[in-house]
Amino acid sequence: MIGKLPRDPVASYSWSGDEDPLGNGRYCTQSHLLTTGWDVENKNIVAAGENENLARVFEMPKRGSRDPLHVIATLESTYPFLSMAMSGDAESVAVSGLDGTVQLARLQYVQ
């Protein structure tokens, strides 16, 4: 049996998430997304692309909330990212770039 996708998305989020365009070490960004993924518990989303050559890890808002995605980490590169994956325990990410590299990063959650 082949499933049918709904016509309208269940949820839609902005790439900028809850980044603060006024400072605090974060800045207003844009990206042409090329890849996305999520962890096995659907608590985190990974997304990467080109334009500013950024990859991000986001924390999902609570179900039913209208809050934006929470930016956990941002990775930068001199080349666009082509793919990104998160480990099952949501502790690490792997990203591949147009330059042929694969970068591994361990996430450090700060409260």
**pLDDT beyond 80 at 48:** yes
Q: Can you read off the two tokens belonging to residue 103?
A: 């970068």
**pLDDT beyond 60 at 24:** no
- 17-24 LR contacts (CB < 8 Å, sep 24+): 17/56, 17/58, 17/68, 17/69, 17/70, 17/71, 18/67, 18/68, 18/69, 18/70, 18/71, 19/71
Q: Whose structure tokens read 């269940």? A: 10
**pLDDT beyond 70 at 28:** no
Please, what is the end-to-end C-alpha distance for the chain in angstroms?
44
Q: pLDDT tens across 61-76, in order?
A: 988 888 888 888 888 8
Question: What mean pLDDT comes out for the span 88-98?
Answer: 89
